[in-house]
Structure 1
Amino acid sequence: MVLLAHELGLGYAALKKISKVLGIPALHLKTYQRHDKRVTEIERGLESLDRTREQVRQAYADVDPDVAELLREDADAVINISVSFDGTWQKRGFTSHYGIGVCIDILTGLVIDYEILSSYCHACALKGNAKQEQKITEEEYDSWRQTHIDCARNFAGSSKAMEQESAKRMWARSVNLHQVQYTEMLSDGDSAAFREVVALNPYPGHEVVKLECINHAHKRMGTALRKLSSQGKLGGKGVGKLTAKKCKTLQNYYRGAILNNQEQADVMRNLR
């Protein structure tokens, strides 16, 4: 039942409701927490990431003779790879207690690393409330804190900052964990995570380069045109007006121009 709850993204309260509907006894909270901890440990096992690492390294060796030669000389040699990075949250609006960052290898499409962040621990919240309501003393609370080694909270910043923090953690451990350097990063056009990674300088002597996603550029152009239409005199109906249809047309022209001139990216950047 606990594994089922994990697969469905449900917690203890939802599991109790399911048990009630099925007419079976619900697990006690402590029993649930014990099984939940075990399931989490299994799901977070690095065995699958180890297999991914080997597949990714082999894929780069298959397409790049230099990488193949390097790995023949040293099977644990560090290689450079390109990854796509993005973050998401349990709920929208930058109010979530839980977030996750994911690195996907561009060549193979495999998830090579992920980082789950939590700014909330239910056990800490319960004990904190008990202390506030004077059900336990300050000394009892401090004593409990010293023995509370399995705290679910691993991040103290804002929800918005979770994406940047997860990127920093994954870039910082990529060499030790996978023997790879994420030297090319494909992410949102306005990604603050990229700036944080650059400031971290995880690979001294090796620059982390940002790759631009055409789809994101296409989306940002549409957003900018619609904003311009709603704020200025260009908006409205009629000849010469920046209508919704015209915004869509210009947005598609912009995407087409990028696709058809990929070899002249530097020239396009310098156009005024």
Structure 2
Amino acid sequence: MRAIGKSLSATQTFCALMNLPPPPTRIQKYYEIIGDIPIAFDGTWQKRRHASKNPVATLTSIDTVKVIDVGALTKHCYCFDGNTSGEHKNCQKNYEGTSEGMEADAAVKIFRRSVLKRGVRYVQFLGDGNFKAYKSVWLNQNHIRIRWSMLDMHKTRWAHTSKNKQTLRTTVLSDGKLLRSRLTDTTINELRQYYGMAIRNNTHDLASMRKAVWATYFHKLSNNWKPIHSLCPSGPNT
């Protein structure tokens, strides 16, 4: 009940309706037992890429899908905007360093105040492929177990694929054809769709997920002279 944000009174009502034993009245002592929670961390920027001076990092509970904590950073001092005295008045600047490191710095600050401010401990880190944020947290607080977001990594991977296509579009392949004639936008979108399905349809079975990913790879390599369909699923929905 605590995982979905309900209090003792709601728990008592639920147990009464379901004909269950009543919950303990002194429920506070059990909070430490269930105080370890998995979280998802991500940051957003005022401007695209890492040229922004004002990012915001958000921490969300994986169990309840609720925002637990938010960290806002700025490395720009607005005190002198229209201020002729040259004095810092209510300065909001709270970061020194490069824009690229701001998300990692926000992650460390949020994790450091987890027990004091939120009364919980974050034990799993669901990230978006930005290893710097996790690494910074790990170096400052080593009780976290990592669990990367494969769907977000999937999104990042195809962004790199499209970029590489533009960079290597004139590359000559072994059959004498150009890469741009084979790795078309249609092919990239098709691979993205199959790869995403392989992940989403097998979230609780890593072996099946791996098999589905390789099935897509070998299926696209197949032709009438050399079929490679041993990993493809059978049945009408193959």
Query: Shorter-chain TM-score: what band?
Result: 0.5 to 0.7
Q: State the structure with bigger RCO (CA 8 A, min sep 6), 1 or 2.
A: 1
C-alpha distance in 1, partners of 2:198/2:149? 14
Higher helix share: 1
**SS of aligned partner of 1:87:** strand
Structure 1 equivalent of residue 199 of structure 2:
258
For normalisation by structure 1, the TM-score amounts to 0.58
CA separation in 1, counterparts of 2:3 and 2:80?
40
Counterpart of 2:147 (choices 182, 200, 210) is 210
Matched, 1:102 2:102: no
1:184 equivalent among 124, 128, 138: 124
Displacement of 1:114: 0.7
1:245 is displaced (CA, Å) by 0.7
TM-score (norm 2): 0.65
1:236 Cα deviation from its structure 2 partner: 2.4
- Post-superposition Cα deviations, 1:122-148, rounded to whole Å, max 9, x if no partner, equal 225667xx6xxxxx8xxxx7xx56xx5
How many residues of Structure 1 are paired with residues of Structure 2 in the alignment? Answer: 188
**In 1, are the aligned partners of 2:150 and 2:199 still within 8 Å (CA)?**
no
Percent of pairs identical after alignment?
A: 26
Partner of 1:222: 158
Distance 1:168 1:97 in 2: 18
Of 119, 134, 158, 1:194 maps to: 134
State the Cα distance separating 1:169 from its structure 2 match. 0.3
Please give the alpha-carbon distance, in whole angstroms, between the structure 2 residues aligned to 1:197 and 1:162.
13
1:190/1:122 CA distance change after superposition, 3 Å: closer
CA, structure 1 residues 97+217, in 2 after alignment: closer, same or farther (shift >3 Å)? closer
2:99 aligns with one of 159, 163, 178: 159
User: Residues 226-265 of structure 1: CA distance to partner in whole angstroms, max 9, x if unpaired?
Assistant: 244331335223xxx1211111111222122223333342
Residues 92 and 226 (structure 1 numbering): CA distance in 2 closer, same or farther, change over 3 Å? Answer: closer
1:74: which partner in 2?
Answer: 29
Q: Partners of 1:236 and 1:200 in 2: how far apart?
A: 45
The correspondence for 2:172, drawn from 233, 240, 257, is 233
Q: CA deviation at 1:55?
A: 7.0
- The residue number in structure 2 matching 1:87 is 43
Q: RMSD of the alignment, in Å?
A: 3.3
The answer to whether the Cα contact below 8 Å between 1:97 and 1:159 also exists between their aligned partners in 2 is: yes
Change (3 A) 1:155 1:108: same
The alpha carbon displacement at 1:73 in A equals 5.8
Q: CA deviation at 1:208?
A: 2.9
Kept in 2, the 8 Å contact 1:124–1:151? The answer is no
C-alpha contact 1:82 1:106 (8 A) present in aligned 2: yes
For the structure 1 residues 125 and 158, does the alpha-carbon distance in structure 2 shift closer, same or farther, using more than 3 Å as the test? farther
Residue 4 of structure 1 corresponds to none
1:39-67: CA deviation from partner (whole Å, max 9, x where unpaired): xxxxxxxxxxxxxxx776649xx8xxxxx
- 1:184/1:211 contact within 8 Å kept: no
Q: Which runs of 5+ in 1 are unaligned?
A: 1-53, 63-67, 131-135
Paired with 2:82 and 2:106, the residues of 1 have a C-alpha distance of: 27
User: Matches of 2:39 and 2:97 in 1, distance apart?
Assistant: 25
Q: In structure 1, the residue corresponding to 2:98 is in which secondary structure?
A: coil
Equivalents in 2 of 1:56, 1:118: separation in Å?
33
The change in CA–CA distance for 1:103 and 1:220 in structure 2 (over 3 A counts) is same
